Amino acid sequence: MENERIRVLYVDDEPNNLQMFKAGFRLDFDVFTSASGKEALEWLRQNTAHVVIADQRMPEMSGAEFFEKLLAENPEPVRILLTGYTNIESVIEAINRGQVFRYLKKPWEDDDLRLTIENAYEIYAARQDLRRKNEELSRINADLMRTNEELNRFVYSASHDLKAPLASIMGIVQVARMEGEEHEAAHYLSLIEKSVQRLEIFIQNIIDYYKNVRLQDKLTEIEFDSLIRESIAAFDYHQDVPDIRFDVSVKQSTVFVNDEFRMRVILNNLISNAIKYQKKGSRDKHVSICVEAANGKAVIHVRDNGIGVSSEYINDIFKMFFRATETASGSGMGLYIVKEAVEKMAGQVSVTSVEGEGADFTVVIPNRK
């Protein structure tokens, strides 16, 4: 709040006092005046004052009554009471009801009142600074609580998801040893391969999550067509990919700049999700990726005609380790990583879905060139 002009509202029913106050302090402060407590309250509902000064003796509403109402509506301004009388009861009433910072006698001494206003503003500024710090502390505490909760879920899920494929591999090895049939070897190797792939995907998710949280933005030019095709090619090993028709449409009329690593993570996870939740046994498996990069942003749609998401779970699918179906083979981290990466890129992600008909994920990313 450095170099900010102090905004002072002076309330008095005597026009001469209002004029004298404005003439005496207009060079030092931004001065505003009101002729009654009612008028001042109305003004303060529309405007901001750092310091409010009021005369105690006013018709209809005394200074103490005015400060009491102001305190209830807007406690932010620091309050100063002026009185031409030495009635200590009036002063005590103002302190108790309106919580005034100081009271001064009329007629005031310019230097004394000027110093009082400056001291009052220092209190106002300190309160605002404290409020901002408290808000920041609350935000940090909320982030820490969220991080702690996510860490607890991460430790539990990671231990399970890392052990499960290894236990599966060990079990298959033991069965293969007991049976000792060579013609069964290919089948067992296939099962082992699937377990290893699950483990590899989960480990990659952990790496992507860590990098997304820790790494600073690295802005580079993004060519969406090549990036999408690289992401699709990365899933060639998946047994269902040969049965899926991929349609890619990219309309990129300008140089697009943002974080390529995070963009790759987003596409990989959305495409993986579209592959993973296709309908088993369907002869028409379809995934479309559409990008339109123009007007300062890129709008990306990843659509599939798979099993879709139940409306019961649509608001939960971006949570860490959430699985919308018991048959899900994933780690439950993919869509959470998508959401976190999109937010790091100052973008937005949303989903629409009809259960049994598929899902449509929409990502909007700003162009930061």
Q: Are the C-beta atoms of 67 and 99 separated by less than 8 Å?
A: yes
**DSSP three-state, residue 3:** coil
**DSSP three-state, residue 346:** coil
Q: Domain ranges for the chain, please list them.
A: 7-108, 218-369
- 7-108 and 218-369 have identical folds: no
Average pLDDT, the chain: 84
pLDDT at residue 84, rounded to an integer: 76
Would you say residue 179 has pLDDT above 70? no
Helices and strands per DSSP (H, E), number in the chain: 9, 12
pLDDT at residue 4, rounded to an integer: 81
Span 7-108 CATH architecture? 3-Layer(aba) Sandwich (3.40)
Closest CA to 154 of 330, 329, 328, 333: 333
Instruction: Tell me the pTM.
Output: 0.51
**Residues 6 or more apart from 358 whose CB is under 8 A from it?**
303, 304, 305, 306, 307, 308
Amino acid (one-letter) located at 61: M
Would you say residue 161 has pLDDT above 90? no
Taking the C-alpha atoms of residue 344 and residue 212, their distance in angstroms, rounded to an integer, is 8
pLDDT at residue 215, rounded to an integer: 67
Q: What is the per-residue DSSP string for 224-276? A: HHHHHHHHHHTTTTSTTGGGEEEEEEEEE-S--EEEHHHHHHHHHHHHHHHHH
Taking the C-alpha atoms of residue 125 and residue 76, their distance in angstroms, rounded to an integer, is 10
Q: What is the pLDDT of residues 186-239, one digit of tens each?
A: 666 666 666 666 666 666 666 666 666 666 778 989 999 999 998 888 877 666
Top mean-pLDDT range of 127-131, 137-141, 265-269, 299-303: 299-303
Q: What is the pLDDT of residues 272-319, one digit of tens each?
A: 889 888 888 888 999 999 999 988 999 999 999 999 988 888 888 888
Taking the C-alpha atoms of residue 239 and residue 259, their distance in angstroms, rounded to an integer, is 31
- Could you please state the CATH topology (level 3) that the domain comprising 218-369 is classified under: Heat Shock Protein 90 (3.30.565)
Rounded to the nearest 10 degrees, the angle between the axes of helix 185-214 and helix 334-344 is 30
Q: Are the C-beta atoms of 31 and 10 separated by less than 8 Å?
A: yes
